[in-house]
Structure 1
Amino acid sequence: MMKDDTMTRCRFRTIFAALLLALSLALSSGGVAAEPKAVLLSAEDRADIARAEEYLNAITTLKARFLQTSPNGVSVEGDAYLSRPGRLRLQYDPPSPLLVVADGTFLIVHDRELGSPSYIPLGSTPAGILVQPNLRLTGGAVTVTRVVRLPGVVRISAVETEDSASGEITLVFSDRPFELRQWQVRDAQHQVTTVSLFESRSGLPLDAKLFKFVDPNMTKSPLNLN
Protein backbone atom coordinates (compact mmCIF):
# COMPACT_ATOMS: atom_id res chain seq x y z
CA MET A 1 0.00 0.00 0.00
CA MET A 2 1.28 3.46 -0.89
CA LYS A 3 2.25 5.76 1.97
CA ASP A 4 -0.23 8.49 0.98
CA ASP A 5 -3.09 5.97 0.78
CA THR A 6 -2.21 4.65 4.23
CA MET A 7 -2.26 8.18 5.68
CA THR A 8 -5.64 8.87 4.09
CA ARG A 9 -7.15 5.71 5.52
CA CYS A 10 -5.80 6.44 8.99
CA ARG A 11 -7.33 9.90 8.93
CA PHE A 12 -10.60 8.53 7.60
CA ARG A 13 -10.72 5.98 10.41
CA THR A 14 -10.31 8.71 13.04
CA ILE A 15 -12.71 11.17 11.46
CA PHE A 16 -15.58 8.98 10.52
CA ALA A 17 -15.43 6.73 13.53
CA ALA A 18 -15.80 9.91 15.51
CA LEU A 19 -18.75 11.30 13.63
CA LEU A 20 -22.09 9.77 12.67
CA LEU A 21 -22.53 6.13 13.57
CA ALA A 22 -19.14 4.52 13.02
CA LEU A 23 -20.42 1.03 13.59
CA SER A 24 -18.88 -1.05 10.82
CA LEU A 25 -15.38 0.48 11.06
CA ALA A 26 -14.55 -1.01 7.69
CA LEU A 27 -11.10 0.54 7.59
CA SER A 28 -10.04 -0.41 11.10
CA SER A 29 -7.09 -2.70 11.79
CA GLY A 30 -5.81 -4.53 14.81
CA GLY A 31 -9.07 -6.21 15.83
CA VAL A 32 -9.96 -9.88 15.44
CA ALA A 33 -13.47 -10.54 14.21
CA ALA A 34 -15.70 -11.52 17.10
CA GLU A 35 -19.41 -11.63 17.74
CA PRO A 36 -20.64 -9.52 20.65
CA LYS A 37 -21.64 -11.27 23.85
CA ALA A 38 -25.36 -11.57 24.42
CA VAL A 39 -26.68 -8.71 26.54
CA LEU A 40 -29.89 -8.94 28.53
CA LEU A 41 -31.89 -5.80 27.79
CA SER A 42 -34.72 -4.76 30.06
CA ALA A 43 -38.08 -3.56 28.82
CA GLU A 44 -37.00 -0.02 29.68
CA ASP A 45 -33.79 -0.49 27.66
CA ARG A 46 -35.76 -1.68 24.65
CA ALA A 47 -38.14 1.25 24.97
CA ASP A 48 -35.23 3.71 24.90
CA ILE A 49 -33.69 1.92 21.90
CA ALA A 50 -37.04 2.19 20.10
CA ARG A 51 -37.14 5.92 20.93
CA ALA A 52 -33.65 6.33 19.45
CA GLU A 53 -34.56 4.45 16.25
CA GLU A 54 -37.76 6.45 15.84
CA TYR A 55 -35.90 9.73 16.40
CA LEU A 56 -33.08 8.90 13.95
CA ASN A 57 -35.42 7.57 11.25
CA ALA A 58 -37.58 10.67 11.47
CA ILE A 59 -34.63 12.78 10.31
CA THR A 60 -34.71 13.34 6.55
CA THR A 61 -32.30 16.28 6.40
CA LEU A 62 -30.04 17.75 9.04
CA LYS A 63 -27.58 20.60 9.30
CA ALA A 64 -25.45 21.08 12.40
CA ARG A 65 -22.20 22.41 13.69
CA PHE A 66 -19.95 19.84 15.33
CA LEU A 67 -17.01 19.86 17.70
CA GLN A 68 -14.74 16.83 17.44
CA THR A 69 -12.18 16.06 20.13
CA SER A 70 -9.59 13.43 19.28
CA PRO A 71 -7.86 11.11 21.77
CA ASN A 72 -4.80 13.37 21.76
CA GLY A 73 -6.94 16.30 22.92
CA VAL A 74 -6.95 18.14 19.58
CA SER A 75 -10.31 19.70 18.73
CA VAL A 76 -11.71 20.72 15.36
CA GLU A 77 -15.06 22.16 14.31
CA GLY A 78 -17.06 21.94 11.13
CA ASP A 79 -20.45 21.68 9.44
CA ALA A 80 -22.35 18.42 8.99
CA TYR A 81 -25.06 17.97 6.36
CA LEU A 82 -27.25 14.88 6.10
CA SER A 83 -29.88 13.97 3.52
CA ARG A 84 -31.32 10.50 4.00
CA PRO A 85 -31.14 8.14 2.33
CA GLY A 86 -27.61 7.99 1.04
CA ARG A 87 -26.09 11.47 1.31
CA LEU A 88 -23.78 13.14 3.79
CA ARG A 89 -21.21 15.95 3.86
CA LEU A 90 -18.70 16.69 6.60
CA GLN A 91 -17.06 20.06 5.98
CA TYR A 92 -14.18 20.68 8.38
CA ASP A 93 -13.23 24.26 9.19
CA PRO A 94 -9.84 25.56 8.01
CA PRO A 95 -7.02 24.85 8.54
CA SER A 96 -8.17 21.20 8.48
CA PRO A 97 -7.61 19.82 4.96
CA LEU A 98 -10.39 17.22 5.24
CA LEU A 99 -13.67 16.86 3.40
CA VAL A 100 -15.97 13.80 3.51
CA VAL A 101 -18.87 13.39 1.06
CA ALA A 102 -21.31 10.51 0.63
CA ASP A 103 -22.99 10.88 -2.76
CA GLY A 104 -25.37 7.93 -2.58
CA THR A 105 -22.90 5.47 -4.11
CA PHE A 106 -19.47 6.22 -2.70
CA LEU A 107 -17.98 7.75 0.40
CA ILE A 108 -15.33 10.17 -0.84
CA VAL A 109 -12.58 11.17 1.59
CA HIS A 110 -10.50 14.10 0.35
CA ASP A 111 -7.41 15.32 2.18
CA ARG A 112 -6.23 18.39 0.30
CA GLU A 113 -2.71 17.95 1.67
CA LEU A 114 -2.46 14.47 0.15
CA GLY A 115 -4.12 15.30 -3.15
CA SER A 116 -6.05 12.40 -4.66
CA PRO A 117 -9.39 11.56 -2.99
CA SER A 118 -10.32 8.02 -1.88
CA TYR A 119 -13.55 6.48 -3.17
CA ILE A 120 -15.00 3.78 -0.92
CA PRO A 121 -18.26 1.88 -1.63
CA LEU A 122 -20.86 3.43 0.65
CA GLY A 123 -22.25 0.08 1.77
CA SER A 124 -18.90 -0.92 3.29
CA THR A 125 -18.56 2.20 5.46
CA PRO A 126 -20.10 3.62 8.63
CA ALA A 127 -22.04 6.05 6.46
CA GLY A 128 -23.86 3.10 4.95
CA ILE A 129 -25.51 2.49 8.30
CA LEU A 130 -26.28 6.11 9.01
CA VAL A 131 -27.89 6.94 5.69
CA GLN A 132 -29.81 3.72 5.09
CA PRO A 133 -33.60 4.17 4.68
CA ASN A 134 -34.54 2.24 7.82
CA LEU A 135 -31.87 2.58 10.48
CA ARG A 136 -31.94 -0.15 13.13
CA LEU A 137 -29.87 -0.43 16.28
CA THR A 138 -30.89 -4.04 16.94
CA GLY A 139 -31.44 -7.19 14.93
CA GLY A 140 -29.00 -6.46 12.11
CA ALA A 141 -25.56 -5.00 11.47
CA VAL A 142 -25.55 -3.34 14.91
CA THR A 143 -25.79 -4.86 18.39
CA VAL A 144 -26.56 -2.77 21.47
CA THR A 145 -24.15 -3.54 24.33
CA ARG A 146 -25.71 -1.42 27.06
CA VAL A 147 -28.19 1.32 27.84
CA VAL A 148 -27.39 3.74 30.67
CA ARG A 149 -29.82 6.28 32.07
CA LEU A 150 -28.54 9.31 33.97
CA PRO A 151 -30.49 12.38 35.10
CA GLY A 152 -31.75 13.94 31.87
CA VAL A 153 -29.55 11.73 29.66
CA VAL A 154 -29.87 8.39 27.85
CA ARG A 155 -26.68 6.68 26.64
CA ILE A 156 -26.90 3.81 24.13
CA SER A 157 -23.72 1.89 23.29
CA ALA A 158 -23.41 -0.43 20.31
CA VAL A 159 -20.90 -2.45 18.27
CA GLU A 160 -20.77 -3.97 14.81
CA THR A 161 -22.51 -7.34 15.07
CA GLU A 162 -19.98 -9.23 12.94
CA ASP A 163 -16.86 -7.65 14.46
CA SER A 164 -17.41 -6.33 17.96
CA ALA A 165 -13.64 -6.05 18.56
CA SER A 166 -13.34 -3.23 16.00
CA GLY A 167 -14.84 -0.62 18.30
CA GLU A 168 -17.88 0.74 20.10
CA ILE A 169 -20.00 3.84 19.69
CA THR A 170 -22.07 5.49 22.43
CA LEU A 171 -24.95 7.72 21.34
CA VAL A 172 -25.80 10.33 23.95
CA PHE A 173 -29.37 11.68 23.92
CA SER A 174 -31.04 14.32 26.02
CA ASP A 175 -34.16 12.83 27.60
CA ARG A 176 -36.67 15.66 27.40
CA PRO A 177 -36.77 16.52 24.59
CA PHE A 178 -35.28 13.30 23.22
CA GLU A 179 -32.51 14.56 20.93
CA LEU A 180 -29.07 13.33 19.90
CA ARG A 181 -26.41 15.51 21.50
CA GLN A 182 -23.13 13.63 21.27
CA TRP A 183 -21.20 10.59 19.98
CA GLN A 184 -18.35 8.91 21.81
CA VAL A 185 -16.39 6.33 19.83
CA ARG A 186 -13.90 3.85 21.22
CA ASP A 187 -11.80 2.32 18.46
CA ALA A 188 -10.02 -1.04 18.31
CA GLN A 189 -7.06 0.47 20.17
CA HIS A 190 -9.40 1.74 22.95
CA GLN A 191 -8.87 5.38 21.95
CA VAL A 192 -11.95 7.54 22.51
CA THR A 193 -13.06 10.33 20.19
CA THR A 194 -15.97 12.61 21.12
CA VAL A 195 -18.20 14.61 18.82
CA SER A 196 -20.75 17.10 20.11
CA LEU A 197 -23.52 18.62 18.00
CA PHE A 198 -24.84 22.15 18.35
CA GLU A 199 -27.01 24.52 16.34
CA SER A 200 -28.79 21.47 14.90
CA ARG A 201 -31.68 22.01 12.49
CA SER A 202 -33.63 19.27 10.76
CA GLY A 203 -36.11 19.18 7.90
CA LEU A 204 -34.32 21.92 5.97
CA PRO A 205 -34.08 22.00 2.17
CA LEU A 206 -30.43 21.30 1.30
CA ASP A 207 -28.71 22.10 -1.98
CA ALA A 208 -28.06 18.87 -3.91
CA LYS A 209 -24.61 20.22 -4.84
CA LEU A 210 -23.51 19.70 -1.24
CA PHE A 211 -23.49 15.96 -1.91
CA LYS A 212 -21.62 16.08 -5.22
CA PHE A 213 -17.86 15.86 -5.24
CA VAL A 214 -15.75 17.12 -8.14
CA ASP A 215 -12.05 16.35 -7.88
CA PRO A 216 -10.29 19.74 -7.93
CA ASN A 217 -7.33 18.04 -9.56
CA MET A 218 -9.48 17.22 -12.57
CA THR A 219 -11.65 20.30 -13.10
CA LYS A 220 -12.49 23.77 -11.84
CA SER A 221 -16.23 23.12 -12.17
CA PRO A 222 -18.47 25.54 -10.22
CA LEU A 223 -19.98 22.45 -8.57
CA ASN A 224 -16.78 22.03 -6.61
CA LEU A 225 -17.54 23.19 -3.08
CA ASN A 226 -14.05 22.67 -1.60
Structure 2
Amino acid sequence: MKRTLLALLLLSGCATSGYGNLSQPQQGDVRRVQAYLNTLKGLKATFVQNGPDDGQSAGHFAYIPGHLRLDYVSPHPMQLVAGEGHLVLTDQGSGAVTQLSLKRNPLGLLLRYPVRFDEGVQVTDVRHGPDSVQVSVAQADNPSQGLLTLQFSDIEGRLELVGLQGVDARQHHFGVSLSEISENSSTDPDIFKFPSE
Protein backbone atom coordinates (compact mmCIF):
# COMPACT_ATOMS: atom_id res chain seq x y z
CA MET A 1 0.00 0.00 0.00
CA LYS A 2 2.79 2.45 0.93
CA ARG A 3 4.66 1.64 -2.28
CA THR A 4 1.52 2.20 -4.37
CA LEU A 5 0.87 5.53 -2.66
CA LEU A 6 4.48 6.63 -3.19
CA ALA A 7 4.31 5.66 -6.88
CA LEU A 8 1.09 7.63 -7.34
CA LEU A 9 2.63 10.68 -5.66
CA LEU A 10 5.69 10.49 -7.89
CA LEU A 11 3.56 10.16 -11.00
CA SER A 12 1.35 13.05 -10.00
CA GLY A 13 4.48 15.16 -9.42
CA CYS A 14 5.70 14.36 -12.90
CA ALA A 15 2.33 15.20 -14.44
CA THR A 16 2.44 18.77 -13.19
CA SER A 17 5.50 19.58 -15.28
CA GLY A 18 5.27 20.27 -18.99
CA TYR A 19 2.19 20.20 -21.16
CA GLY A 20 1.37 16.51 -21.68
CA ASN A 21 -1.99 17.05 -19.99
CA LEU A 22 -3.14 19.39 -22.78
CA SER A 23 -5.09 18.43 -25.89
CA GLN A 24 -3.11 17.63 -29.03
CA PRO A 25 -3.97 20.98 -30.69
CA GLN A 26 -2.90 22.83 -27.53
CA GLN A 27 0.36 20.87 -27.39
CA GLY A 28 0.95 21.88 -31.00
CA ASP A 29 0.47 25.53 -30.05
CA VAL A 30 2.95 25.20 -27.19
CA ARG A 31 5.55 23.69 -29.52
CA ARG A 32 4.98 26.51 -32.03
CA VAL A 33 5.48 29.12 -29.28
CA GLN A 34 8.70 27.41 -28.12
CA ALA A 35 10.06 27.33 -31.66
CA TYR A 36 9.12 30.97 -32.25
CA LEU A 37 10.83 32.21 -29.07
CA ASN A 38 13.97 30.13 -29.62
CA THR A 39 14.49 31.16 -33.25
CA LEU A 40 13.65 34.84 -32.87
CA LYS A 41 16.79 36.82 -33.67
CA GLY A 42 15.46 39.89 -31.90
CA LEU A 43 12.36 41.96 -31.32
CA LYS A 44 11.99 45.70 -30.84
CA ALA A 45 8.77 47.53 -30.05
CA THR A 46 7.20 50.34 -28.13
CA PHE A 47 5.33 49.29 -25.01
CA VAL A 48 2.69 50.41 -22.57
CA GLN A 49 2.81 48.82 -19.12
CA ASN A 50 0.03 48.67 -16.55
CA GLY A 51 1.27 48.07 -13.03
CA PRO A 52 -0.26 46.71 -9.83
CA ASP A 53 -1.32 50.20 -8.67
CA ASP A 54 -3.16 50.91 -11.95
CA GLY A 55 -0.31 53.22 -12.94
CA GLN A 56 0.75 53.30 -16.56
CA SER A 57 4.21 53.64 -18.04
CA ALA A 58 5.57 53.52 -21.57
CA GLY A 59 8.82 53.24 -23.47
CA HIS A 60 10.90 51.01 -25.72
CA PHE A 61 11.08 47.20 -25.55
CA ALA A 62 13.91 44.98 -26.79
CA TYR A 63 14.14 41.18 -26.61
CA ILE A 64 16.48 38.47 -27.77
CA PRO A 65 16.18 34.89 -26.53
CA GLY A 66 17.26 34.89 -22.89
CA HIS A 67 17.41 38.69 -22.49
CA LEU A 68 15.00 41.60 -22.13
CA ARG A 69 15.41 45.37 -21.90
CA LEU A 70 12.81 48.05 -21.19
CA ASP A 71 13.70 51.71 -21.54
CA TYR A 72 10.98 53.68 -19.79
CA VAL A 73 10.21 57.14 -21.16
CA SER A 74 7.18 57.91 -18.99
CA PRO A 75 6.28 58.62 -16.28
CA HIS A 76 10.06 59.14 -15.85
CA PRO A 77 13.26 57.64 -17.33
CA MET A 78 14.16 54.18 -16.04
CA GLN A 79 16.01 51.23 -17.50
CA LEU A 80 15.25 47.55 -16.87
CA VAL A 81 17.71 44.89 -18.00
CA ALA A 82 16.96 41.20 -17.37
CA GLY A 83 18.71 37.96 -18.22
CA GLU A 84 21.02 35.29 -16.83
CA GLY A 85 18.77 34.87 -13.81
CA HIS A 86 18.81 38.52 -12.73
CA LEU A 87 16.89 41.75 -13.21
CA VAL A 88 18.33 45.24 -12.66
CA LEU A 89 16.10 48.32 -12.64
CA THR A 90 17.84 51.70 -12.70
CA ASP A 91 15.97 54.93 -11.99
CA GLN A 92 17.90 57.37 -14.12
CA GLY A 93 16.53 60.37 -12.26
CA SER A 94 17.41 59.37 -8.70
CA GLY A 95 20.17 56.89 -9.53
CA ALA A 96 18.45 54.22 -7.40
CA VAL A 97 19.19 50.65 -8.47
CA THR A 98 16.95 47.65 -7.70
CA GLN A 99 18.26 44.13 -8.24
CA LEU A 100 16.07 41.03 -8.23
CA SER A 101 16.54 37.34 -8.84
CA LEU A 102 14.47 35.86 -11.67
CA LYS A 103 14.47 32.44 -10.04
CA ARG A 104 11.02 32.96 -8.53
CA ASN A 105 9.86 35.81 -10.77
CA PRO A 106 7.37 35.19 -13.60
CA LEU A 107 9.65 36.93 -16.13
CA GLY A 108 12.23 34.25 -15.48
CA LEU A 109 9.96 31.77 -17.27
CA LEU A 110 10.40 33.75 -20.50
CA LEU A 111 14.12 34.43 -20.10
CA ARG A 112 15.39 30.88 -19.87
CA TYR A 113 17.32 29.87 -22.97
CA PRO A 114 16.50 27.75 -24.73
CA VAL A 115 12.84 28.16 -23.85
CA ARG A 116 11.48 24.76 -22.77
CA PHE A 117 7.97 24.34 -21.44
CA ASP A 118 8.56 20.73 -20.39
CA GLU A 119 11.47 21.22 -17.97
CA GLY A 120 10.53 22.67 -14.60
CA VAL A 121 7.67 24.62 -16.19
CA GLN A 122 3.95 23.88 -16.08
CA VAL A 123 1.74 25.08 -18.93
CA THR A 124 -1.47 25.99 -17.14
CA ASP A 125 -3.58 27.21 -20.05
CA VAL A 126 -3.65 27.71 -23.82
CA ARG A 127 -6.34 29.95 -25.31
CA HIS A 128 -7.31 31.02 -28.81
CA GLY A 129 -9.02 34.20 -29.92
CA PRO A 130 -9.57 35.76 -33.32
CA ASP A 131 -6.08 35.68 -34.90
CA SER A 132 -4.47 35.24 -31.48
CA VAL A 133 -3.15 32.64 -29.07
CA GLN A 134 -1.92 32.91 -25.51
CA VAL A 135 0.03 30.47 -23.35
CA SER A 136 0.15 30.67 -19.55
CA VAL A 137 3.06 29.13 -17.65
CA ALA A 138 4.15 28.71 -14.02
CA GLN A 139 6.97 27.09 -12.05
CA ALA A 140 6.17 23.37 -12.00
CA ASP A 141 7.49 22.82 -8.46
CA ASN A 142 5.82 25.91 -6.99
CA PRO A 143 3.07 27.46 -9.16
CA SER A 144 2.16 29.93 -6.40
CA GLN A 145 5.41 31.82 -7.13
CA GLY A 146 3.85 33.45 -10.17
CA LEU A 147 2.11 33.08 -13.49
CA LEU A 148 3.17 34.46 -16.87
CA THR A 149 0.89 34.66 -19.90
CA LEU A 150 2.53 35.17 -23.28
CA GLN A 151 0.25 36.77 -25.87
CA PHE A 152 0.73 36.39 -29.61
CA SER A 153 -0.98 37.44 -32.77
CA ASP A 154 -1.52 34.33 -34.89
CA ILE A 155 -2.34 35.33 -38.44
CA GLU A 156 -2.22 32.64 -41.13
CA GLY A 157 -0.07 30.50 -38.85
CA ARG A 158 2.51 33.23 -38.20
CA LEU A 159 3.15 34.10 -34.56
CA GLU A 160 4.24 37.48 -33.24
CA LEU A 161 4.72 38.39 -29.57
CA VAL A 162 2.32 41.23 -28.73
CA GLY A 163 2.07 41.22 -24.95
CA LEU A 164 2.87 39.82 -21.52
CA GLN A 165 0.59 39.47 -18.52
CA GLY A 166 1.88 38.36 -15.15
CA VAL A 167 1.13 37.95 -11.50
CA ASP A 168 3.87 37.45 -8.91
CA ALA A 169 3.93 35.58 -5.61
CA ARG A 170 2.49 38.62 -3.81
CA GLN A 171 -0.43 38.71 -6.26
CA HIS A 172 0.84 41.88 -7.93
CA HIS A 173 -0.40 42.03 -11.53
CA PHE A 174 1.38 43.61 -14.49
CA GLY A 175 0.69 43.82 -18.18
CA VAL A 176 2.86 44.88 -21.11
CA SER A 177 1.29 45.58 -24.52
CA LEU A 178 3.55 45.91 -27.57
CA SER A 179 3.06 47.97 -30.71
CA GLU A 180 5.20 49.13 -33.65
CA ILE A 181 6.85 45.72 -33.54
CA SER A 182 9.98 45.00 -35.55
CA GLU A 183 11.16 41.38 -35.63
CA ASN A 184 14.59 39.99 -36.46
CA SER A 185 16.11 43.43 -36.84
CA SER A 186 19.75 43.80 -35.88
CA THR A 187 19.98 44.13 -32.11
CA ASP A 188 23.28 44.97 -30.46
CA PRO A 189 23.77 42.35 -27.71
CA ASP A 190 25.65 44.93 -25.64
CA ILE A 191 22.37 46.69 -24.81
CA PHE A 192 21.48 43.69 -22.63
CA LYS A 193 24.56 44.06 -20.42
CA PHE A 194 23.86 45.01 -16.85
CA PRO A 195 24.75 48.64 -15.98
CA SER A 196 27.71 47.63 -13.81
CA GLU A 197 29.34 45.56 -16.56
- Given the two structures, how large is their TM-score scaled by the length of structure 2? 0.75
Residues 78-126 of structure 1, C-alpha deviations (whole Å, 9 max, x = no match): 1111233x44321011432421124757532213455342445666765
The question of whether the paired residues in 1 share the 8 Å contact of 2:44 and 2:61 is answered with yes
Structure with larger RCO (C-alpha < 8 A, sep 6+): 1
- Structure-2 residue corresponding to 1:100: 80
The question of whether the paired residues in 1 share the 8 Å contact of 2:104 and 2:145 is answered with no
The question of whether the paired residues in 2 share the 8 Å contact of 1:107 and 1:127 is answered with no
Q: Which has the higher strand share?
A: 2
Give the share of equivalent positions with the same residue, in percent: 32
**Cα drift, residue 132 of structure 1:** 3.5
2-structure distance, mates of 1:147, 1:214 = 36
Q: 1:205 to 1:44 in 2, by over 3 A?
A: same
- Structure 2 residue 114 is the aligned partner of structure 1 residue 134: yes
- Given the two structures, how large is their TM-score scaled by the length of structure 1? 0.66
- Aligned counterpart in structure 2 of residue 111 of structure 1, from 91, 95, 102: 91
1-structure distance, mates of 2:32, 2:90 = 35
- Structure 2 residue 121 is the aligned partner of structure 1 residue 145: no
* Larger displacement relative to structure 2 (146-155 or 205-214): 205-214
Moved over 6 A (4+): none
- Structure-1 residue corresponding to 2:59: 78
The question of whether the paired residues in 1 share the 8 Å contact of 2:131 and 2:153 is answered with yes
1-structure distance, mates of 2:75, 2:125 = 37
**Cα drift, residue 77 of structure 1:** 0.8
The question of whether the paired residues in 2 share the 8 Å contact of 1:36 and 1:161 is answered with no
- Aligned counterpart in structure 1 of residue 147 of structure 2, from 168, 173, 191: 168
What is the 5 A alignment of 1:28-39? 38=16
What is the 5 A alignment of 1:180-191? 180-191=161-172
Q: Which sections of structure 2, spanning at least 5 residues, go unmatched? A: 1-12
Number of positions where the alignment pairs a residue of Structure 1 with one of Structure 2? 180
- Structure-2 residue corresponding to 1:9: none
RMSD of aligned alpha carbons: 3.0
**Cα drift, residue 48 of structure 1:** 0.7
The question of whether the paired residues in 2 share the 8 Å contact of 1:142 and 1:160 is answered with yes
The question of whether the paired residues in 2 share the 8 Å contact of 1:170 and 1:185 is answered with yes
